[in-house]
C-alpha cells in the first residue's frame, strides 16, 4: 500500500487515530483536527465500505466536539487512574522488541515508547517512509494487531461516545490494511 504520495489515506487515518488516543482534547495540536472532523473531511477520506455501525461512528466522530466534555471522557478513559491503559506493556511483553524494531529502521527516537498510539504512528511512518512490505507485515503481526485489538476492545467497553467511535473506525481501517498486506504477501 506504500505510494509515492506524501500522505496516503491509510497513513492519514493512523495519524488521526494515533493523535486522538495520544493527546488530551485540549492539546493545541488537536484543534485543527477537530475542525477537520467537523467539516466532514473524514467521510470524504474514508474509502472503506460502510455499514450502519460504521456510518454511525463516522457521524459521531464528526459531530460538534466540546473539548471540555471530551476532556472529562479522555481523563476517565486514559488518565492516570483511567479505565483503559494506554501502555503497550499492559497488553504485550514486546515493548523492547518494538523499540528495537523502530531503531532498526532508523525511526525517530521516542521519549516514551510505551504508548499504544506509537504503534499507529509507526504504521503511518512506515507507510510514508519505508518501501518495505516486510516491515509493515512485521509491525502488524508482532506488535500492532496483538496490542491494538485489546486496547480498542477496552475503549469500546468503557465508552459510548467519541472514543468508542474512534476505536471502531480505527479497528475497521486496521483490518482493511491487514487484509491488504496479506493479499500482497500471497501475490
Q: Quick: pLDDT tens for 75-84.
A: 999 999 999 9
Q: How far apart are the first and last CA of the chain?
A: 13
Residue 2 lies in a domain: no
CATH of the domain at 129: 1.10.3480.10
Residue 1, pLDDT score: 39
Residue 3 lies in a domain: no
Residue 5, pLDDT score: 36
More confident of the two residues 186 and 87: 87
Residue 1 lies in a domain: no
Mean pLDDT of 117-136: 90
CB atoms within 10 A of CB 39: 11
Residue 4 lies in a domain: no
- CA distance readout (Å), 22 to 66, 101, 130: 18, 20, 23
Nearest-10 crossing angle of helices 145-158, 162-186: 160
Residue 161 lies in a domain: yes
Residue 68, pLDDT score: 84
pLDDT over 90 at 66, yes or no: no
More confident of the two residues 158 and 69: 158
Query: CA nearest 40: which of 19, 20, 13, 58?
Result: 58
Tell me, what DSSP letter sits at residue 108?
P
Mean pLDDT of 16-44: 94
- Give the span between the Cα atoms of 117 and 166, in whole angstroms: 13
- Reported as a pLDDT band with limits 50, 70 and 90, residue 128 is confident
Residue 34 lies in a domain: yes
The domain tally of the chain equals 1
Is residue 4 within 8 Å of 110, Cβ to Cβ?
A: no
pLDDT over 50 at 3, yes or no: no
Residues 6+ apart with CB under 8 A from 48: 54, 172, 173, 176
- Reported as a pLDDT band with limits 50, 70 and 90, residue 4 is very low
Residue 44 lies in a domain: yes
- Give the span between the Cα atoms of 96 and 74, in whole angstroms: 27
Domain encompassing residue 35: 9-186
Residue 158 lies in a domain: yes
- At 86, is the secondary structure helix, strand, or coil? coil
Query: Quick one: cell of 153?
Result: 476492545
User: Of all residues in the chain, what percent carry a pLDDT higher than 70?
Assistant: 96
Average pLDDT, rounded, for the chain? 90
Amino acid at each position: 500500500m506504500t505510494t509515492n504520495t506524501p500522505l496516503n489515506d491509510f497513513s492519514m487515518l493512523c495519524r488521526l487515530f494515533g493523535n486522538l488516543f495520544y493527546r488530551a482534547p485540549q492539546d493545541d495540536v488537536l484543534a485543527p483536527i477537530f475542525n477537520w472532523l467537523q467539516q466532514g473531511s473524514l467521510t470524504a477520506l474514508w474509502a472503506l465500505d460502510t455499514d450502519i455501525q460504521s456510518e454511525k461512528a463516522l457521524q459521531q466522530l464528526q459531530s460538534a466536539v466540546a473539548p471540555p466534555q471530551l476532556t472529562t471522557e479522555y481523563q476517565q478513559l486514559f488518565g492516570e487512574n483511567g479505565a483503559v491503559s494506554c501502555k503497550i506493556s499492559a497488553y504485550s511483553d514486546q515493548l523492547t522488541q518494538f523499540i528495537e524494531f523502530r531503531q532498526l529502521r532508523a525511526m525517530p527516537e521516542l521519549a516514551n515508547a510505551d504508548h499504544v498510539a506509537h504503534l499507529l504512528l509507526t504504521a503511518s511512518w512506515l507507510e510514508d517512509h519505508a518501501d518495505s512490505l516486510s516491515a509493515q507485515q512485521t509491525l502488524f503481526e508482532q506488535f500492532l494487531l496483538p496490542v491494538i485489538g485489546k486496547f480498542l476492545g477496552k475503549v469500546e467497553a468503557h465508552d459510548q461516545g467519541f472514543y468508542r467511535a474512534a476505536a471502531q473506525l480505527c479497528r475497521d481501517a486496521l483490518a482493511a490494511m491487514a487484509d491488504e498486506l496479506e493479499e500482497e504477501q500471497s501475490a
